[in-house]
Structures are given as C-alpha cells and as structure tokens.
Amino acid sequence: MAKINPFKAVRPTKDKAGLVASRPYEDYTEGELKAQLQYNPFSFLHIINPGYKFQHEITGEKRFQLVKNRYLEFKEEEIFIKDPAPCYYFYKIVTRNDSFFGIIAAASLEDYENNIIKKHEDTIAFRENLFKDYLKVVGFNTEPVLLTYPDSAVIDELIEEAMNTRPEYEFTTHNKETHFLWTICEPKIVEQIKREFEKMPALYIADGHHRCSSSYILSKESKAENPMHSGEEPYNYFMSFLIAESKLKIYEFSRLVTDLNGWSKEEFLMQLDEQFRIENRGSQLYSPKSKNHFNMYLDGEFYSLFLRKTNYEFTDSLSTLDTYILYEKLLKPILGIQDLRNDLRISYIHGKNDLIEMKSEIDSGRFTVGFGMLPLTIEEIKKVADEGLIMPPKSTYIEPKLRSGLTIYEF
C-alpha cells in the first residue's frame, strides 16, 4: 500500500513561472549559463549558483548556506509563494515528439525503507552524503524523484478532467517544450488520488536514486534528533513526480571505450568471436534489432554482435539484461573495465543522441570502439527491482526530465 500525499508547495507566482523554471544546472553550456544569470534575474539558477552575485566560485557548506540565502530572498521578494493548503500538482510536458503527464506529490520514506518504493540502481555513499548535507542546510528540495506506477484508469480520468480546465502555469521554453501545471486541492479529488495509490502494492524509482537515498538518510538523522517525532513531519517524505508505466520513455546508453586494452584490431575481433557471432556491416549506420544483439563501431566500420548463448547461462532477471551481458562478456573480460562508474576509459551516450554521435566521437579519435543495444523495457526494470537486484550503471536514460523551481518541497 503506497502512501502518496499532497503537500504545500512553494512555487513561483503565475507571471514568473516561465522565467524561474530552469533545466538541471549541468545541462547548460557555459555561454547559456552566463546569459541566464546575466539577463534573467528570476531564474532558479541564481539560487543554485549563489556565487554569481559575488562573481566568485563558492563550494562546500558555504555554498549550501548561500543557496539558502538566495532562496529566502526569492521568498521575501514574493517571487515564490507557499500554497495555503496541501495540493497535488498535475504536470504536463509537451516536447517536439512526445507528451508526458503525471502527479507531483510527497512520497513516503517509510515506503522506501520497506521496499514498497523499489529501486533498481546502486548508489554511491559519497554522493548520498553530500546531497544529504546540502538538503540539511538549505531545507528544501526542488528536483522530484521520478516514480512510476501501474496504469490506473481512475487517475488517468482525473488528470484528463483537470486538463480540460485552465492551468495554473502554461509556458514554452527556448527548446520548444511547453509546460503546464494544475493545482489540485479539492478535498474530494485529493482523497480519490490518495486512495488509488493506497491500492498499489509497489511503486518503482525510474530516476533519482541518489536523491531518494539522501532524503532517507536525512530523515533518519532528523528522526533521531527530534524527541517529539510523530512520523508525519515533512522530513518523512520526499517530493516525487509519479507517472504511469506506459507513459515513460526509456532509452539506452551506448558505451564508448578509449582503447582496446592492448589488443590489436585482429586480436580483439578474435577475442570477441569466442563470445559473439560477428558480422561486418560496413560503413552504413547499423542498429541492433533484438535482445542479446549489439552493434559495434570500430575503425570506420559497423559490426553486429550476437551473443553465443551456448556460452552463457541465464540465471535471474539481471543476467538477461543486455547491459549486464555486455559487461560480463566483453567490457570486463576483454577490455579490462571493472568499474563502470569510475573507469575513465569508458564514456556513455544516451539513446536520444543517435548513432551519428557515436560514429563522430570514434572517428575523431577520442574513442576507439563503441557499442549499442536496444533500450530496456519497464518490465525488465521491474523484475530486477522485484528480485532485489541492481542493474549496471547507465542502463537506462528515462524521460520525462522536469524543470527545477516550479514546485519546491520544504522540510
């Protein structure tokens, strides 16, 4: 039984929503970032990059405190307001090729602890604790964890009804995305939504494992420090964006490697031949067509690699994943890559960027060889999570990606 609650969001006034909302900080080029900070005083980037005010780069806890200061300034200037009553927030994004909609809400960290909210990705302790320290100082979170739930006709109908009314926000961004947000505070509808989620035995983290884990660590610390702890304090929850399983868009990551681990091209191909059936596809762009089928780009030519299943044993849901197979049969034993997160010899391109980018990176000499595969399915992700297993890093690139600053969760 999943506990998904409404909450009182802090959010921009209607006239400034499009100016405040920003992409993730790392998505901006240096030039874009400078332009936003110089010419848009309402951008949320001023909060997460507080050193700009002093023309000085600031790191560590000093930066965290300045982030909080900038945030408080936005509230004092009434750029941000706090809703007087708990609400759900229906959010829709229309891109050039897709449309996504879901619910922004507060999800229970007790559900995360009890595996009602299930994960499929491992986390790094350093990143968990760094973001936990950040949250503890600033006292708010603006990046929802992406959760997915089984399709619900009731929730779809409620969202559809809301979309026939005038949204609280509607704005279009420079990359031609249109964003809509509706506030849902009517008690009867709030109760319907809450009950629908209570019927669901499990939810799954699609994106945001580190954010979720950091919130969990902070909640445990806050509980220990609060002798009046009741279980309903805001620190017992985290902001989430809940989207139906059928509405997610899942892409793969291609793998690029800088060298052949000391093998000549011919030796490398012979090593591969023991594990895969290899076919040279020439210089034309080539994509895999089925599971356990990979493409490879090497020395100006594409190859297809078909797993030799007589040399491989499928033992659980993890062993069936193409990302795991590629690691176990090629990247680790042949190319010598043990640590997929930290080895500087490997890099990744998400599947929204097509084969042309892989070819370009290798033709430029920055990398020697590249590998691609089909994206995983939501069924594969759920099976891994249900079995308590962990997928290899960079197994999925999942959309939608939300803007920062539209709804803020305080604790």
Q: Which fold has domain 253-395?
A: 3.30.1760
Angle at 244 between CA 241 and CA 250, to 5 degrees: 85
**pLDDT tens string 365-404:** 999 999 999 999 999 999 999 999 999 999 999 999 899 9
The structure tokens listed for 284 are 């034309």
Task: Give yes or no for residue 213 having a pLDDT over 70.
Answer: yes
Task: Determine the average pLDDT of the residues in 242-261.
Answer: 97
Task: Determine the average pLDDT of the residues in 329-351.
Answer: 94
Q: Using CA atoms, how far apart are residues 128 and 119, in angstroms rounded to an integer?
A: 15
Task: Determine the average pLDDT of the residues in 167-176.
Answer: 94
**pLDDT tens string 30-42:** 899 899 999 999 9
By the 8 A CB rule, do 38 and 49 touch? no
CB hemisphere CA count around 162 (13 angstroms): 27
342: pLDDT confidence band, cut at 50, 70 and 90? confident
The structure tokens listed for 194 are 């809450």
DSSP secondary structure letter of residue 319: G
Q: Where are the domains of the chain?
A: 4-249+399-410, 253-395
Burial zone of 176 (CB within 10 Å; 0-12 exposed, 13-18 middle, 19+ buried): exposed
Give the length of the chain.
411
Neighbours of 365 (CB within 10 A): 8
By the 8 A CB rule, do 181 and 87 touch? no
Task: Give yes or no for residue 188 having a pLDDT over 70.
Answer: yes
- Strands, DSSP E only, in 186-252? 203-207, 237-244, 249-251
Q: What is the pLDDT of residue 24?
A: 82
- Strands, DSSP E only, in 55-156? 80-82, 88-94, 99-108, 117-118, 140-141, 145-149
By the 8 A CB rule, do 121 and 387 touch? no
Task: Give yes or no for residue 281 having a pLDDT over 80.
Answer: yes
407: pLDDT confidence band, cut at 50, 70 and 90? very high
Q: Give the CA distances from residue 213 to residues 125, 134, 193, 313, 384, in Å, rounded to whole numbers and listed in that order.
A: 9, 13, 25, 33, 18
- Strands, DSSP E only, in 154-231? 169-172, 178-184, 203-207
Q: Give the CA distances from residue 216 to residues 24, 148, 310, in Å, rounded to whole numbers and listed in that order.
A: 22, 19, 43
What's the mean pLDDT when you consider all of the chain? 95
DSSP secondary structure letter of residue 320: G
**pLDDT tens string 41-87:** 999 999 998 877 766 677 778 899 999 999 999 999 999 999 999 99
DSSP secondary structure letter of residue 330: I
**pLDDT tens string 98-152:** 999 999 999 999 999 999 999 998 888 888 999 999 999 999 999 999 999 999 9
pTM (two decimals): 0.92
20: pLDDT confidence band, cut at 50, 70 and 90? very high
Task: Give yes or no for residue 175 having a pLDDT over 90.
Answer: no
DSSP 25-83: GGGS-HHHHHHHHHH-TT-THHHH-GGGGGTS---HHHHHHHHHHHHHHHHHTTSEEE-
Paired sense of beta strands 140-141 and 409-410, if any: antiparallel
